[in-house]
Structure 1
């Protein structure tokens, strides 16, 4: 568990979206290992079944699409909620002049609108008990990059949203932060690194000369959900190996 206490999140109910694969899956597993009651949300039943088998009884699974109103209402119907890892996101990689309007709509709907609605519903459940929200950002929320105008736009929006939420919700004892990974090696990104030019571009930009792992990102998220970060809000942990320090 990377040094975290097994009772770090005991007594806390944590919602993790995009929990079927990659970063979200690692976050759900680590939160459960730290004692939280985890609600893991994903669209694919098989991913949720395997997650439940792997992580045990601390995880409740929801087969839901976060862009649907039914999901938002389900969050609002929870009896209590102490934490959210708002992890769902998408990307459309192409030169700006070739991006289709549908690509714009897809990225805005998933990366911005659904994140806002999920955070709003979660915050409404935290107003009495307080809580912590982690919105998944990216190093691309701080820099620009070729062929990623839509993604950079959406992640800059995540950073602005999170700062505004942090200021507005502070008096309700709700903390809001972001985690901003560099490229993370997953089943989805692994084929990208078979392109030697792309691999060289990425590694040349990271001073530490390595990619992040899903556990690296999960560690940052769980820290921000825990009381270890009780005075931290409105900021970002960049898990980027130094990319944005250049």
Structure 2
């Protein structure tokens, strides 16, 4: 359990997590459920089913986030929504220079985030909820190996700021986390490459990779009453990578 949040901090709330079937999304869904929320997970079946967030208060619906109508229907079907967390994300590395791969990455990472936010807006506005999106350290600088991923994450940061201004009148706070290198399936290429891992760790002041749960805790903070006056923020969760 996260020490700064009381065990029932999200009791009676309803949370939607897109991309919640693995990695940071799964960790976030599980943490929110442990804190008392009823969690609605939308995402594709993961390659490793052991990574699914299994909890009595977690409901998982398989949904391709690039299906705009399907994603909108699933979010509307939830009814009450107190918090939306948009975690769906992909990277195709150097294949992203191919137009088809570029389009896919932008569709999953950026466009689906906007679709989810718009779909959840009426429910969130009825009770004054919050949205947390997931950017990346690559939203602060480019990557020659991940052009679409970097562009999409920079776009998420600016989308977050824009929606924070637009939705504030409805009592909705919108913030984003910017994870560094975290032990998720998305980072498998770096984690499995000893040379790449050493290069990354040499730059991380804390000297290790992050854990999905650590990013989930930051997301929970941004959703919680402890962040009641935090809006439009970009919170790096990177072990200090960006400070070097």
Q: Do Structure 1 and Structure 2 share a fold, with TM-score over 0.5?
A: yes
Q: Is the 1:66–1:72 contact (alpha carbons within 8 Å) kept by the matching residues of 2?
A: no
Corresponding position of 1:182 = 180
Give the C-alpha shift of residue 200 in structure 1: 2.2
Question: Alpha-carbon deviation of 1:13?
Answer: 0.5
Alignment-derived partner of residue 33 in structure 2: 32
CA distance change for structure 1 residues 63 and 194 in 2, over 3 Å: closer, same or farther? closer
Instruction: State whether residues 217 and 239 of structure 1, in contact with CA within 8 Å, keep that contact through their aligned partners in structure 2.
Output: yes
Q: Number of aligned residue pairs: give it.
A: 242
CA distance in 1: counterparts of 2:48 and 2:21, whole angstroms: 5
1:51: Cα distance to partner?
Answer: 4.0
Q: In the alignment, which of 137, 140, 143 is matched to residue 139 of structure 1?
A: 137
Judged with a 3 Å threshold, the aligned counterparts in structure 2 of structure 1 residues 47 and 17 are, in CA distance, closer, same or farther, namely farther
Alignment partner, residue 66 of structure 1: 65
CA distance change for structure 1 residues 46 and 152 in 2, over 3 Å: closer, same or farther? closer
Q: 1:55 to 1:182 in 2, by over 3 A?
A: same
Unaligned runs of at least 5 residues, structure 1: none
Residue 150 of structure 2 aligns to a residue in which SS? Answer: helix
**What whole-Å deviation, never above 9, does each CA across 1:214-238 have from its counterpart, x for those lacking one?**
1110000111111111110100211
Structure 2 unpaired stretches of 5+:
none
2:90–2:186 CA contact under 8 A, matched in 1: no
The residue aligned with 1:91 is 91
The answer to whether the Cα contact below 8 Å between 1:45 and 1:63 also exists between their aligned partners in 2 is no
Change (3 A) 1:180 1:50: closer
Whole-Å separation in 2 of the counterparts to 1:50 and 1:186: 10
Aligned equivalents of 1:50 and 1:155: distance in 2?
24
> Does the 8 Å CA contact 1:22/1:214 hold for their aligned counterparts?
yes
Q: Distance in 1 between matches of 2:223 and 2:186?
A: 26
**C-alpha displacement at 1:151, in angstroms?**
1.1
**Higher mean C-alpha displacement, 170-179 vs 72-81:** 72-81
Asked if the contact 2:22–2:51 (Cα under 8 Å) also holds between the matched residues in 1, the reply is no
Alignment-derived partner of residue 161 in structure 2 = 163
Check 1:74–1:190 CA distance in 2 against 1; reply closer, same or farther (3 A cut): closer
Show the counterpart of 1:103: 101
Partner Cα distance (1:90, 1:103) in 2: 10
TM-score by length of 2: 0.92
Give RMSD over aligned pairs.
2.0
Query: For the Cα contact (< 8 Å) 1:95–1:146, is it kept in 2?
Result: no
